[in-house]
Structure 1
Amino acid sequence: MTTSHPELHTERLLLRQWSEADLDALAEMDADPDVMRYIGDGSTGTRERTAAALGRVRAAWDEHGYGLFAAEEIATGELVGWVGLAVPAFLPEVMPAVEIGWRLRRRSWGRGYATEAAREVLAFAFGEAEPDARLEGVVSICHVDNHASLRVMTKLGMTYDRTTRVPAHGQPVRVMALTREEYHSSP
Protein backbone atom coordinates (compact mmCIF):
# COMPACT_ATOMS: atom_id res chain seq x y z
CA MET A 1 0.00 0.00 0.00
CA THR A 2 1.05 3.58 -0.48
CA THR A 3 2.72 5.48 2.36
CA SER A 4 1.17 8.82 1.42
CA HIS A 5 -1.44 10.40 3.64
CA PRO A 6 -4.37 10.89 1.27
CA GLU A 7 -7.50 12.92 1.75
CA LEU A 8 -10.78 11.37 0.71
CA HIS A 9 -14.03 13.18 0.07
CA THR A 10 -17.64 12.12 0.29
CA GLU A 11 -20.72 14.22 -0.31
CA ARG A 12 -20.70 15.50 3.28
CA LEU A 13 -17.35 14.52 4.76
CA LEU A 14 -13.66 15.20 4.41
CA LEU A 15 -11.58 12.21 5.48
CA ARG A 16 -8.19 13.64 6.34
CA GLN A 17 -5.11 13.21 8.44
CA TRP A 18 -5.07 14.19 12.09
CA SER A 19 -3.93 17.49 13.55
CA GLU A 20 -3.22 18.56 17.13
CA ALA A 21 -6.40 20.66 16.93
CA ASP A 22 -8.43 17.42 16.81
CA LEU A 23 -7.37 16.27 20.27
CA ASP A 24 -10.11 18.10 22.23
CA ALA A 25 -12.96 16.70 20.12
CA LEU A 26 -11.41 13.23 20.08
CA ALA A 27 -10.88 13.27 23.86
CA GLU A 28 -14.49 14.37 24.36
CA MET A 29 -15.68 11.47 22.21
CA ASP A 30 -13.50 8.94 24.04
CA ALA A 31 -14.76 10.20 27.43
CA ASP A 32 -18.43 9.69 26.47
CA PRO A 33 -19.80 6.50 28.10
CA ASP A 34 -22.42 6.09 25.35
CA VAL A 35 -19.76 6.22 22.61
CA MET A 36 -17.46 3.82 24.46
CA ARG A 37 -20.18 1.39 25.55
CA TYR A 38 -19.20 -1.27 22.99
CA ILE A 39 -15.51 -0.39 22.63
CA GLY A 40 -13.05 -2.71 24.38
CA ASP A 41 -14.25 -3.33 27.92
CA GLY A 42 -16.55 -0.29 27.76
CA SER A 43 -14.39 2.02 29.86
CA THR A 44 -14.02 5.65 28.86
CA GLY A 45 -10.74 7.25 27.90
CA THR A 46 -8.78 10.09 29.42
CA ARG A 47 -7.26 12.99 27.51
CA GLU A 48 -3.79 11.48 28.09
CA ARG A 49 -4.80 8.08 26.72
CA THR A 50 -6.47 9.74 23.75
CA ALA A 51 -3.32 11.78 23.03
CA ALA A 52 -1.20 8.61 23.15
CA ALA A 53 -3.64 6.81 20.86
CA LEU A 54 -3.52 9.71 18.41
CA GLY A 55 0.26 9.31 18.25
CA ARG A 56 -0.14 5.60 17.48
CA VAL A 57 -2.70 6.39 14.78
CA ARG A 58 -0.24 8.72 13.06
CA ALA A 59 2.55 6.14 13.28
CA ALA A 60 0.31 3.47 11.73
CA TRP A 61 0.11 5.44 8.49
CA ASP A 62 3.89 5.40 8.19
CA GLU A 63 4.13 1.73 9.11
CA HIS A 64 1.28 0.30 7.03
CA GLY A 65 0.38 2.89 4.39
CA TYR A 66 -3.17 3.07 5.76
CA GLY A 67 -4.81 4.09 8.98
CA LEU A 68 -7.63 5.98 10.60
CA PHE A 69 -8.94 9.12 8.91
CA ALA A 70 -10.28 12.07 10.86
CA ALA A 71 -13.86 12.49 9.62
CA GLU A 72 -14.78 16.16 9.32
CA GLU A 73 -18.19 17.46 8.34
CA ILE A 74 -17.60 19.71 5.32
CA ALA A 75 -20.49 22.08 6.04
CA THR A 76 -19.34 22.91 9.60
CA GLY A 77 -15.68 21.92 9.77
CA GLU A 78 -16.55 19.89 12.88
CA LEU A 79 -14.79 16.62 13.64
CA VAL A 80 -17.52 13.98 13.71
CA GLY A 81 -15.18 11.09 14.56
CA TRP A 82 -12.95 8.71 12.67
CA VAL A 83 -13.22 6.01 10.03
CA GLY A 84 -10.41 3.91 8.69
CA LEU A 85 -8.24 0.83 8.54
CA ALA A 86 -6.20 -0.78 11.32
CA VAL A 87 -4.58 -4.07 12.24
CA PRO A 88 -6.88 -5.80 14.77
CA ALA A 89 -4.10 -7.28 16.92
CA PHE A 90 -6.54 -7.37 19.87
CA LEU A 91 -8.18 -10.40 18.20
CA PRO A 92 -5.29 -12.76 17.30
CA GLU A 93 -7.53 -15.46 15.80
CA VAL A 94 -8.35 -13.28 12.76
CA MET A 95 -4.74 -12.35 12.06
CA PRO A 96 -3.32 -11.52 9.64
CA ALA A 97 -6.09 -9.08 8.86
CA VAL A 98 -6.99 -5.45 8.30
CA GLU A 99 -10.08 -4.09 10.01
CA ILE A 100 -12.33 -1.32 8.79
CA GLY A 101 -13.84 0.53 11.70
CA TRP A 102 -15.43 3.78 12.84
CA ARG A 103 -16.23 5.76 15.93
CA LEU A 104 -18.44 8.84 15.85
CA ARG A 105 -19.32 11.50 18.37
CA ARG A 106 -22.79 10.86 19.77
CA ARG A 107 -24.27 13.99 18.19
CA SER A 108 -23.24 12.61 14.78
CA TRP A 109 -25.06 9.29 15.19
CA GLY A 110 -28.01 8.42 12.96
CA ARG A 111 -26.96 10.59 10.02
CA GLY A 112 -25.41 7.89 7.83
CA TYR A 113 -21.88 9.26 8.28
CA ALA A 114 -20.31 5.90 9.22
CA THR A 115 -21.67 4.17 6.10
CA GLU A 116 -20.84 7.11 3.82
CA ALA A 117 -17.25 7.36 5.05
CA ALA A 118 -16.68 3.60 5.23
CA ARG A 119 -17.71 3.21 1.59
CA GLU A 120 -15.03 5.71 0.61
CA VAL A 121 -12.45 3.95 2.80
CA LEU A 122 -13.33 0.62 1.14
CA ALA A 123 -12.77 2.22 -2.27
CA PHE A 124 -9.35 3.32 -0.97
CA ALA A 125 -8.59 -0.12 0.50
CA PHE A 126 -9.58 -2.02 -2.61
CA GLY A 127 -7.78 0.27 -5.03
CA GLU A 128 -10.46 2.46 -6.55
CA ALA A 129 -9.50 5.74 -4.92
CA GLU A 130 -5.79 4.95 -4.61
CA PRO A 131 -4.28 2.62 -7.25
CA ASP A 132 -1.52 1.37 -4.92
CA ALA A 133 -3.87 0.73 -2.01
CA ARG A 134 -4.99 -2.80 -2.69
CA LEU A 135 -5.96 -5.12 0.10
CA GLU A 136 -7.28 -8.61 -0.57
CA GLY A 137 -9.94 -8.30 2.10
CA VAL A 138 -11.05 -6.58 5.27
CA VAL A 139 -12.87 -7.54 8.42
CA SER A 140 -14.99 -5.47 10.75
CA ILE A 141 -15.45 -6.36 14.39
CA CYS A 142 -18.17 -5.20 16.77
CA HIS A 143 -19.64 -6.17 20.11
CA VAL A 144 -22.52 -8.59 19.56
CA ASP A 145 -24.99 -6.05 21.00
CA ASN A 146 -23.80 -3.16 18.79
CA HIS A 147 -26.65 -3.35 16.29
CA ALA A 148 -25.89 0.07 14.76
CA SER A 149 -22.39 -1.02 13.68
CA LEU A 150 -23.74 -4.32 12.43
CA ARG A 151 -26.22 -2.42 10.21
CA VAL A 152 -23.33 -0.41 8.75
CA MET A 153 -21.36 -3.59 8.07
CA THR A 154 -24.36 -5.12 6.31
CA LYS A 155 -24.87 -1.99 4.19
CA LEU A 156 -21.22 -2.28 3.15
CA GLY A 157 -21.86 -5.80 1.83
CA MET A 158 -19.93 -7.57 4.58
CA THR A 159 -20.92 -11.11 5.52
CA TYR A 160 -20.77 -13.04 8.78
CA ASP A 161 -17.46 -14.72 9.52
CA ARG A 162 -17.68 -15.72 13.21
CA THR A 163 -18.68 -14.85 16.74
CA THR A 164 -15.90 -15.03 19.32
CA ARG A 165 -14.52 -13.33 22.44
CA VAL A 166 -11.71 -10.79 22.75
CA PRO A 167 -9.00 -12.46 24.86
CA ALA A 168 -8.02 -9.33 26.82
CA HIS A 169 -11.45 -8.68 28.34
CA GLY A 170 -13.75 -11.51 27.29
CA GLN A 171 -16.32 -9.35 25.50
CA PRO A 172 -18.29 -11.21 22.80
CA VAL A 173 -17.77 -9.85 19.28
CA ARG A 174 -19.08 -10.52 15.80
CA VAL A 175 -16.60 -10.59 12.94
CA MET A 176 -17.82 -9.64 9.47
CA ALA A 177 -15.71 -9.91 6.32
CA LEU A 178 -15.49 -8.61 2.77
CA THR A 179 -13.02 -9.66 0.07
CA ARG A 180 -11.84 -7.42 -2.74
CA GLU A 181 -13.53 -9.77 -5.21
CA GLU A 182 -16.85 -9.53 -3.35
CA TYR A 183 -16.51 -5.75 -3.17
CA HIS A 184 -15.92 -5.42 -6.92
CA SER A 185 -18.74 -7.80 -7.82
CA SER A 186 -21.39 -6.10 -5.67
CA PRO A 187 -23.90 -3.74 -7.32
Structure 2
Amino acid sequence: MNRRVVLTTRRLALTTWLPSDLDELAELHSDPETMRFVGHGRPDTVDEARARLAGYLDEQDSRGWTKWRMVDCDGKMIGRAGFGEAYSRRDLAYTLLRERWGQGLATEIGVALVDWHLRHRPYGLFDDLCAHVQVGHRNSARVLEKIGFALVDQRPCKGVPCDYFELPVEADLHDELQTPQSVDADPV
Protein backbone atom coordinates (compact mmCIF):
# COMPACT_ATOMS: atom_id res chain seq x y z
CA MET A 1 0.00 0.00 0.00
CA ASN A 2 1.45 3.37 -1.02
CA ARG A 3 0.64 6.76 0.42
CA ARG A 4 -1.00 9.18 -2.03
CA VAL A 5 -1.29 12.94 -1.87
CA VAL A 6 -4.93 14.00 -2.10
CA LEU A 7 -4.47 17.77 -2.22
CA THR A 8 -1.94 20.45 -1.40
CA THR A 9 -2.08 24.07 -0.32
CA ARG A 10 0.71 26.57 0.21
CA ARG A 11 1.59 25.12 3.65
CA LEU A 12 -0.23 21.79 3.89
CA ALA A 13 -0.94 18.49 2.20
CA LEU A 14 -3.60 15.87 2.80
CA THR A 15 -2.46 12.31 2.26
CA THR A 16 -4.06 8.91 2.44
CA TRP A 17 -3.61 6.86 5.58
CA LEU A 18 -1.46 3.78 6.02
CA PRO A 19 -1.87 1.18 8.79
CA SER A 20 1.51 2.33 10.14
CA ASP A 21 0.04 5.77 10.98
CA LEU A 22 -1.51 4.54 14.24
CA ASP A 23 1.08 6.15 16.55
CA GLU A 24 0.68 9.57 14.90
CA LEU A 25 -3.12 9.41 15.01
CA ALA A 26 -3.09 8.19 18.62
CA GLU A 27 -0.80 11.11 19.56
CA LEU A 28 -3.15 13.63 17.90
CA HIS A 29 -6.15 12.17 19.70
CA SER A 30 -4.45 11.78 23.08
CA ASP A 31 -4.30 15.49 23.98
CA PRO A 32 -7.20 16.49 26.27
CA GLU A 33 -7.28 20.10 25.02
CA THR A 34 -7.24 19.05 21.36
CA MET A 35 -10.04 16.56 22.00
CA ARG A 36 -12.16 18.92 24.11
CA PHE A 37 -14.46 19.65 21.15
CA VAL A 38 -13.97 16.38 19.23
CA GLY A 39 -16.30 13.44 19.65
CA HIS A 40 -17.25 13.01 23.29
CA GLY A 41 -14.78 15.61 24.55
CA ARG A 42 -12.09 13.33 25.90
CA PRO A 43 -8.87 11.78 24.57
CA ASP A 44 -9.09 8.55 22.61
CA THR A 45 -7.56 5.39 23.98
CA VAL A 46 -5.09 3.60 21.71
CA ASP A 47 -7.81 1.06 20.91
CA GLU A 48 -10.20 3.87 19.94
CA ALA A 49 -7.50 5.44 17.74
CA ARG A 50 -6.91 2.03 16.15
CA ALA A 51 -10.64 1.69 15.41
CA ARG A 52 -10.72 5.27 14.05
CA LEU A 53 -7.78 4.52 11.73
CA ALA A 54 -9.43 1.31 10.55
CA GLY A 55 -12.53 3.37 9.71
CA TYR A 56 -10.49 5.93 7.77
CA LEU A 57 -8.74 3.18 5.81
CA ASP A 58 -12.08 1.55 5.00
CA GLU A 59 -13.61 4.86 3.90
CA GLN A 60 -10.61 5.60 1.65
CA ASP A 61 -11.01 2.25 -0.05
CA SER A 62 -14.79 2.08 -0.25
CA ARG A 63 -15.83 5.64 -1.13
CA GLY A 64 -12.61 7.48 -2.02
CA TRP A 65 -12.77 10.11 0.73
CA THR A 66 -12.36 10.29 4.48
CA LYS A 67 -10.74 12.51 7.10
CA TRP A 68 -7.25 12.37 5.61
CA ARG A 69 -3.86 12.71 7.26
CA MET A 70 -2.70 16.37 7.28
CA VAL A 71 1.02 17.16 7.03
CA ASP A 72 3.05 20.36 6.94
CA CYS A 73 5.66 21.26 4.32
CA ASP A 74 8.22 19.11 6.15
CA GLY A 75 5.97 16.06 5.97
CA LYS A 76 5.20 16.07 9.73
CA MET A 77 1.67 14.98 10.58
CA ILE A 78 -0.06 17.91 12.26
CA GLY A 79 -3.68 16.80 12.12
CA ARG A 80 -6.43 15.31 10.05
CA ALA A 81 -9.00 16.89 7.78
CA GLY A 82 -11.57 15.84 5.26
CA PHE A 83 -15.10 14.53 5.32
CA GLY A 84 -17.36 12.31 7.34
CA GLU A 85 -21.03 11.93 6.53
CA ALA A 86 -24.21 13.32 8.03
CA TYR A 87 -27.74 13.62 6.64
CA SER A 88 -26.63 12.15 3.28
CA ARG A 89 -24.06 14.94 2.92
CA ARG A 90 -20.32 15.17 3.18
CA ASP A 91 -19.54 16.57 6.62
CA LEU A 92 -16.37 18.71 6.64
CA ALA A 93 -14.14 18.18 9.67
CA TYR A 94 -10.61 18.93 10.83
CA THR A 95 -8.45 18.50 13.92
CA LEU A 96 -5.01 20.05 14.42
CA LEU A 97 -2.25 19.49 16.95
CA ARG A 98 -2.58 22.15 19.64
CA GLU A 99 0.82 23.70 18.85
CA ARG A 100 -0.47 24.46 15.33
CA TRP A 101 -3.58 26.38 16.42
CA GLY A 102 -3.87 30.09 15.64
CA GLN A 103 -1.82 29.97 12.42
CA GLY A 104 -4.70 30.05 9.92
CA LEU A 105 -4.21 26.39 9.01
CA ALA A 106 -7.83 25.38 9.68
CA THR A 107 -9.05 28.11 7.34
CA GLU A 108 -6.47 27.18 4.71
CA ILE A 109 -7.35 23.50 4.70
CA GLY A 110 -11.09 24.27 4.99
CA VAL A 111 -11.05 26.38 1.81
CA ALA A 112 -9.08 23.67 0.00
CA LEU A 113 -11.56 21.00 1.14
CA VAL A 114 -14.54 23.05 -0.08
CA ASP A 115 -12.76 23.37 -3.42
CA TRP A 116 -12.01 19.62 -3.50
CA HIS A 117 -15.64 18.83 -2.67
CA LEU A 118 -16.95 21.08 -5.42
CA ARG A 119 -14.62 19.49 -7.98
CA HIS A 120 -15.34 15.90 -6.84
CA ARG A 121 -19.07 15.96 -6.28
CA PRO A 122 -20.81 12.65 -6.75
CA TYR A 123 -24.12 14.38 -7.70
CA GLY A 124 -26.84 12.80 -5.68
CA LEU A 125 -25.90 11.24 -2.38
CA PHE A 126 -23.23 13.39 -0.65
CA ASP A 127 -23.82 16.19 -3.17
CA ASP A 128 -24.09 18.87 -0.48
CA LEU A 129 -21.60 19.91 2.18
CA CYS A 130 -22.26 20.46 5.86
CA ALA A 131 -20.25 20.77 9.08
CA HIS A 132 -20.86 20.31 12.80
CA VAL A 133 -19.19 22.26 15.58
CA GLN A 134 -19.80 21.51 19.24
CA VAL A 135 -21.83 24.27 20.85
CA GLY A 136 -19.38 26.70 22.40
CA HIS A 137 -16.45 26.06 20.04
CA ARG A 138 -16.47 29.58 18.65
CA ASN A 139 -13.07 29.37 16.91
CA SER A 140 -14.18 26.52 14.65
CA ALA A 141 -17.51 28.21 14.00
CA ARG A 142 -15.63 31.33 12.83
CA VAL A 143 -13.48 29.23 10.49
CA LEU A 144 -16.61 27.78 8.89
CA GLU A 145 -18.16 31.22 8.49
CA LYS A 146 -14.94 32.55 6.90
CA ILE A 147 -14.96 29.80 4.29
CA GLY A 148 -18.56 30.34 3.28
CA PHE A 149 -20.70 28.15 5.55
CA ALA A 150 -23.94 29.43 7.09
CA LEU A 151 -25.27 28.44 10.50
CA VAL A 152 -28.57 26.56 10.06
CA ASP A 153 -29.52 25.45 13.57
CA GLN A 154 -28.43 23.36 16.52
CA ARG A 155 -28.73 19.59 16.42
CA PRO A 156 -27.02 16.64 18.03
CA CYS A 157 -24.16 14.88 16.29
CA LYS A 158 -23.33 11.49 17.79
CA GLY A 159 -25.19 12.54 20.93
CA VAL A 160 -23.31 15.84 21.36
CA PRO A 161 -25.09 19.23 20.97
CA CYS A 162 -23.66 20.96 17.89
CA ASP A 163 -24.10 24.03 15.74
CA TYR A 164 -25.02 22.71 12.28
CA PHE A 165 -23.66 24.56 9.23
CA GLU A 166 -24.29 24.13 5.51
CA LEU A 167 -22.45 25.45 2.49
CA PRO A 168 -25.11 27.55 0.72
CA VAL A 169 -26.00 26.64 -2.85
CA GLU A 170 -24.68 30.01 -4.07
CA ALA A 171 -21.26 29.07 -2.67
CA ASP A 172 -21.16 26.40 -5.36
CA LEU A 173 -20.11 29.18 -7.69
CA HIS A 174 -17.12 29.54 -5.37
CA ASP A 175 -16.81 33.25 -6.26
CA GLU A 176 -16.94 34.58 -2.74
CA LEU A 177 -14.28 32.19 -1.47
CA GLN A 178 -10.68 33.28 -1.68
CA THR A 179 -9.16 29.93 -2.54
CA PRO A 180 -5.46 29.35 -1.96
CA GLN A 181 -3.65 27.32 -4.58
CA SER A 182 -5.08 23.85 -4.21
CA VAL A 183 -4.25 21.12 -6.65
CA ASP A 184 -4.99 17.47 -6.80
CA ALA A 185 -1.73 15.63 -6.88
CA ASP A 186 -3.39 12.24 -7.00
CA PRO A 187 -7.13 12.31 -6.41
CA VAL A 188 -8.58 9.50 -4.37
TM-score (norm 2): 0.82
In structure 1, list runs of 5 or more residues that go unmatched: 89-94
What residue number does 1:110 align with?
102
Residues 80-119 of structure 1: CA deviation (Å, up to 9, x unaligned): 101101113xxxxxx1222001011111111111111121
* Equivalent of 2:136 in 145, 149, 171: 145
Distance in 1 of aligned mates of 2:56 and 2:107: 21
What residue number does 1:47 align with?
46
Distance in 1 of aligned mates of 2:122 and 2:78: 25
Residues 62-95 of structure 1: CA deviation (Å, up to 9, x unaligned): 2222211211001x2210101101113xxxxxx1
User: Which amino acid in 2 is paired with 1:156?
Assistant: I
Q: Which has the higher contact order (CA 8 A, sep 6+)?
A: 2
Distance in 2 of aligned mates of 1:118 and 1:23: 24
What residue number does 1:182 align with?
171
Residues 125-175 of structure 1: CA deviation (Å, up to 9, x unaligned): 111xx5x65653211101111111101101111001111234x54x32100
Shift of 1:13: 0.6
Alignment of 1:165 with 2:156, yes or no, is: yes
Alignment of 1:80 with 2:72, yes or no, is: no
Shift of 1:177: 0.4
Q: 1:136 to 1:181 in 2, by over 3 A?
A: farther
Distance in 2 of aligned mates of 1:14 and 1:165: 31
User: Which amino acid in 2 is paired with 1:157?
Assistant: G
* CA RMSD after TM alignment: 1.9
TM-score (norm 1): 0.83
Contact kept? 1:136, 1:180, Cα under 8 Å: no
Shift of 1:46: 1.1
SS of structure 2 residue aligned to 1:7: strand
User: Which amino acid in 1 is paired with 2:173?
Assistant: H
